[in-house]
Structures are given as C-alpha cells and as structure tokens.
Amino acid sequence: MDISRSFGSTQALGGVSFAIPKGEVLCLLGHNGAGKSTLVSILATALPPTSGTARVAGYDVVREAREVRRRIGLTGQFAAVDESLSGRENLVLVARLLGASRAQARGRADELLQAFDLTGAAERTAGTYSGGMRRRLDLASSFVGSPQVLFLDEPTTGLDPVSRSGLWELVRSCVAQGTTVLLTTQYLEEAEQLADRVIVLGRGRTIADGTPARLKARLGGSTVRAQLAEPARLPAALDALRRAGLDAGPGEPDGSVAVPVRESAALAAVVRALDEAGLGITGISLTEPSLDDVYLALAESAGPLPGSPAAPPAHAVPRPGVSVPS
C-alpha cells in the first residue's frame, strides 16, 4: 500500500510508492515542504506512516523497526552531532553504540576522519566546528556502520564545492560496494551526478519518476542561444529566424535569442540565418535541457504550493508499497 502521512490537517505525503534495487541511488527532488524529509523519516523508522507499508533491507519499517535500524545509516537535514565531544569521540561513540570493539571503533573513526577531511580537527570539540565541518562530521557518523541502506537528507546543503564533490565520491564508493542510497536534494546537478533514478515530489505526491535522462527527454531537444551584437536589431533577427523555419519566441530585451532545436545541426542553421540577414553575434551556445528545466516545468504543473489541501487521487490504483532492498 502507498505511504501516506498527515500532520493534523496537513497531508505531508499522499500515497508514494517505489522500490530501489540494491546498490542503486534514488534522488528525491522537491520544493520546500514537498514531503522529502517526511518520507526519509518514515523509511528510517523515526516516524510511523499514517497509512501504507514500507520495507527497508527486507524488513517492515513499523513492525521490524529494530532490524531496519541495524542496517541503515541516516544523515538528517539538521546536524545531530554532540557538540561537547571531539570529532573523533563522536565517531567512536557511534561505532561503539553499533557494537564495535574499542579498537575497531578507533580504526573506523580514523578512516572516516580521513575520508571527510577532518583529521586536522579530530581532537577539537564539535562545538568549535564551522557549519560545513559539522555537516561533514554528521555525514561521517552515518557511514560508521557501513550500512546496507543509506538515507541522506540534503547531505550537501551548506557544503563548499570541494566537500560536495568529496561527498559524491563517497556515495559512489559506497554504491560500488553494494550500498543502496536514497538522497534528497535541492541541487539538480547532484541528482544528475548520482541518481540512477529520480522521483520529483510535489505536495506529497510523485509528479515525475524516471532516470535523469528520461526526465530530460520529456522536455524535448536542446536550445541554441545567440547574443546579437546590436540588441536593437532583435526584431530583424526574429524575422530572419522565422523565415528559416526557426521559432525563437519573443527574444530577450538584452538582444539574445533562444531557439529550441531538435538536433545539433540546427546550430549551423541559426548562425546562417542571422549571418544572411547581416546580423552580427557576439556569442552562441548549444545547451542541453538540464534537470533544472525539468524540475521547474514539473513544479509549475504541480499546481498550488504546499499548505493547500492536497486533492484526493482520481482513482485508487493498487501498487506495491515502498521497498528499499538490502
């Protein structure tokens, strides 16, 4: 059954279903309040669903929560480090709680301090860490138990570009070892970098589901953008393009035009049309649709923003529950 969760009259999740094959990465995208953290909390056994069932690593998140907890790692949206302990102590504590011996715990802490670039700050209390360092320590904690399934709720929010690509590498290496990952993000580039599959949530419902490539394909082809040397000649440029069978829409006041095209050969057609009309250009580019475009297009079609009551489903389709294999 589909996963739903309400808080009073607010329906945070209104029936979400999916399965992640072992060793794959699912990215959950969605605007603020879409229900991403709620879904992560339910799968990580921190919050029971109002209705529906879910299995993680083969165990039911409600009836077998303890078994689930032994097999997952979780980094929540907000850092959960003990500020009075040093970075190393935080990691050793987590390892000991997971049943490691003192020596094993120290070994694992050292590995992770290294991997998350915290060795230099290992002995300082976490209370003295910068926001990004805290985030890295928090992330390191979720890797301690070498979990089968890793939940990362906006893991790279607040990280600098170097730390961000460092985290991507860590996720990839976990996945290479068979870990299944569910991560939420506001960064579309992150989904493109990591995801085997992307689910876009809107008001607690799945509004898109597929590979990054398929989502992009929904938007059609690429776009040729050209910047006119003389912005005032925009109307002439639009005319010339139209005569060549290219629709550039209204153009931009700064004298740039964007022409949706089906194939890259159309780049030459745009250049030729402008050149034949005697219009100079100072720049031209061919851009593929990004997940950003997909996200914006879908978010618009999702209707009113969160907070408004979600409409009931048009018809109830029986589907398997949420399932995150080991």
Ligand X SMILES: Nc1ncnc2c1ncn2[C@@H]1O[C@H](COP(=O)(O)OP(=O)(O)OP(=O)(O)O)[C@@H](O)[C@H]1O
Size, binding site for Mg ion by CB under 5 A: 3
Helix, strand and coil content of the chain, in percent to the nearest 5, comes to 40, 25, 40
> Does residue number 251 form part of the binding site for ligand X (CB under 6 A)?
no
Q: 87-97 vs 102-115: helix axis angle to the nearest 10?
A: 130
**Identity at 179, one-letter amino acid code:** T
Site string for ligand X, 46-85 (x = CB under 6 A): -------------------------------x--------
C-alpha span between 61 and 224 (Å, rounded): 48
| 62 phi-psi bin (left φ>0, alpha ψ -120 to 50, beta other) | alpha
Q: How near is the Cβ of 175 to ligand X at its closest, in Å?
A: 23
34 binds, among Mg ion, ligand X, none (CB under 5 to 8 A by kind): ligand X
- Residues 6+ away with beta carbon under 8 Å from 257: 225, 226, 228, 234, 237, 238, 241, 248, 249, 251
Residue with Cβ nearer ligand X (35 or 289): 35
Q: Contact with ligand X (CB under 6 A): which of 27, 34, 74, 257?
A: 34
Residue 60 corresponds to which tokens in the numbers above? 């039911």
Residue with Cβ nearer ligand X (30 or 73): 30
> Does residue number 30 form part of the binding site for ligand X (CB under 6 A)?
yes
Dihedral over alpha carbons 303, 309, 313, 316 (to 10 degrees): 150
**Identity at 90, one-letter amino acid code:** N
Comparing every residue's Cβ against Mg ion, the nearest one is 37
> Does residue number 290 form part of the binding site for ligand X (CB under 6 A)?
no
7 binds, among Mg ion, ligand X, none (CB under 5 to 8 A by kind): ligand X
DSSP summary character for residue 19? B
Give residues 39-98 in contact with Mg ion (rule: CB under 5 A).
77
Q: Contact with Mg ion (CB under 5 A): which of 17, 37, 142, 180?
A: 37
Name the residue with tokens 């629709």: 247
Residue with Cβ nearer ligand X (108 or 205): 205
Site string for ligand X, 139-178 (x = CB under 6 A): ----------------------------------------
C-alpha span between 120 and 4 (Å, rounded): 44
212 binds, among ligand X, Mg ion, none (CB under 5 to 8 A by kind): none
DSSP secondary structure string for all residues of 250-308: T--TTSEEEEEESSTTHHHHHHHHHHHTT--EEEEEEEPPPHHHHHHHHHHHT-SPBTB
Site string for Mg ion, 111-150 (x = CB under 5 A): ----------------------------------------
Residue with Cβ nearer ligand X (4 or 38): 38
224, 225, 223, 251: which is closest to 237 by C-alpha? 251
Residue with Cβ nearer ligand X (198 or 240): 198
Residues that bind ligand X (CB under 6 A): 7, 10, 12, 30, 32-38, 77, 306
Residues that bind Mg ion (CB under 5 A): 36-37, 77
